[in-house]
Structure 1
Amino acid sequence: MDDDGARILLVDDQEENLLALAAILKSVDAETVSVRSGEDALRALMTGDYAVILLDVLMPEMDGFETAYHIKRKDRTREVPIIFLTAARSEPDLAFRGYAVGAVDYLVKPFDPWVLRSKVDIFIELHRERRRSRERAAILDGLFPGATGLSRGALLVGTLGERLTGIESARDALAGQVGDIAADDVAAKEALQLLEQELEGLRAAYEALFGRREQAVP
């Protein structure tokens, strides 16, 4: 499995179709999990996190439409995108039914492997971005409990600005002390130089995120 834990759920009652899908997606940076029924798909979704579902339409017992209906009813899985897969001989209204139950796309077999990989790649990246957003939100909640939206962003900007100013003040104080040190004390001067380089990196990161910062008046 990749570092981000992205997974693709493949649902088809035909083993050869699952093997073909897994082979097509072998180069995609995510793990594939294969199941052969709608019931197994629902069980897998309750125990794992998935970036996208490739769901066959025509399956015995619980078909793709019923499976999608149950997926979209559950809070845990309703946001997982579904791409329906169906044979070319299928009825033309199946595509409409697929979108009606919440599918984001509908591909007819045989489909272009490159097209399928491209679509899956998009949903994997969206999945990772949503995860990163949740992680950032959790960090901000820990830093500023009770703050939301713009107020939390303003608090973050202010806090980081204050901390950067504090580090700069400490650097200035250290520079004054190093200035009094003998010229041959290379280690102290190198330490000050490294600190200045770190500060430059912090300033650049701050400005990239929030814009230029007002410098404190001495």
Structure 2
Amino acid sequence: MPTAARPKILVVDDREDTLFAMESALAPLRYPLDRASTGDDALKAVLRGGIAVVLLDVLMPDVSGFEVAHYMSRLEQTQDIPIMMITGAGQDTALAVKAFELGVADYVVKPVEPWVMRTKVRYLYETSLRIHALRDRLRMHEAEEESGSCLPAARFEDRPLSRPA
């Protein structure tokens, strides 16, 4: 039985030199990478599937990073993909607020130290894999429950939330 391909990190920027720099900074992680140079290409890539994390330039011609993030947040198949927005526009609180209102996981101002980028991407990538594995397990359990092949379990919504001591 063939093993499934590891999900990729999608690096999106309209500048070739920035794409190269980000790919070089991430190379030591040895995660599969994909690239897009427009917002439209980024949307096509995430809709094809197999993306674990998106590193997304904020200001791009045509379709901006904000528009990509907004679109991804509205689609069930892409809304759980963590997005790290990266900007060369400097410290701009309004841009950061707008990004976090869209639900991005992180907002970073260029230049980014390579080890900082790797640390953040490693965390987002591993977290994304865990979330997808948990969702798959939940779907499998629900399918078993519906088919009658397992005893019904209490729904998560029916359980009280425990508070840490």
Aligned partner of 1:111 in structure 2 is: 112
After superposition, the Cα gap between the structure-2 partners of 1:82 and 1:111, relative to the gap in structure 1 and judged at 3 Å, is same
- Distance in structure 2 (CA, Å) of the matches to 1:8 and 1:52: 5
Deviation of 1:130 (Å): 2.4
After superposition, the Cα gap between the structure-2 partners of 1:140 and 1:93, relative to the gap in structure 1 and judged at 3 Å, is closer
Deviation of 1:3 (Å): 6.4
Is the counterpart of residue 98 in structure 1 residue 96 in structure 2?
Answer: no
Aligned partner of 1:12 in structure 2 is: 13
Amino acid aligned to 2:129: R
TM-score (norm 1): 0.62
User: Does structure 2 conserve the Cα–Cα contact (< 8 Å) formed by 1:88 and 1:110?
Assistant: no
Amino acid aligned to 1:95: A
- Distance in structure 2 (CA, Å) of the matches to 1:150 and 1:90: 47
User: Does structure 1 conserve the Cα–Cα contact (< 8 Å) formed by 2:82 and 2:128?
Assistant: no
Considering only aligned residues, what root-mean-square deviation do their CA atoms show, in Å? 2.3
Aligned partner of 1:39 in structure 2 is: 40
Number of aligned residue pairs: 150
Amino acid aligned to 2:19: L
Deviation of 1:133 (Å): 2.4
- Distance in structure 1 (CA, Å) of the matches to 2:90 and 2:128: 32
- Distance in structure 1 (CA, Å) of the matches to 2:67 and 2:138: 34
Amino acid aligned to 1:72: S
Deviation of 1:129 (Å): 1.6
- Distance in structure 2 (CA, Å) of the matches to 1:135 and 1:78: 16
Deviation of 1:14 (Å): 0.4
Which secondary structure state, in structure 2, belongs to the residue aligned with residue 51 of structure 1? strand
Q: How does 1:188-207 map to 2 (within 5 A)?
A: none
- Distance in structure 1 (CA, Å) of the matches to 2:102 and 2:141: 35
Aligned partner of 1:74 in structure 2 is: 75
Aligned partner of 1:122 in structure 2 is: 123
Deviation of 1:6 (Å): 2.2
Higher RCO, Cα 8 Å, sep 6+: 2
Deviations 1:86-125 (A, max 9, x none): 0153633111111111211110001111111111111111
Q: How does 1:127-206 map to 2 (within 5 A)?
A: 127-137=128-138, 140=141, 144=145, 145-146=147-148, 147-150=151-154
Matched-pair identity in %: 35
- Distance in structure 2 (CA, Å) of the matches to 1:99 and 1:142: 35
Q: Which runs of 5+ in 2 are unaligned?
A: 156-165
Aligned partner of 1:61 in structure 2 is: 62
Aligned partner of 1:203 in structure 2 is: none
Deviations 1:37-86 (A, max 9, x none): 11111101111221111000110111111111111111110111111100
Work out which of the two has the higher radius of gyration on C-alpha atoms and give 1 or 2. 1
More helix by share: 1
Runs ≥4 residues deviating over 6 A: none
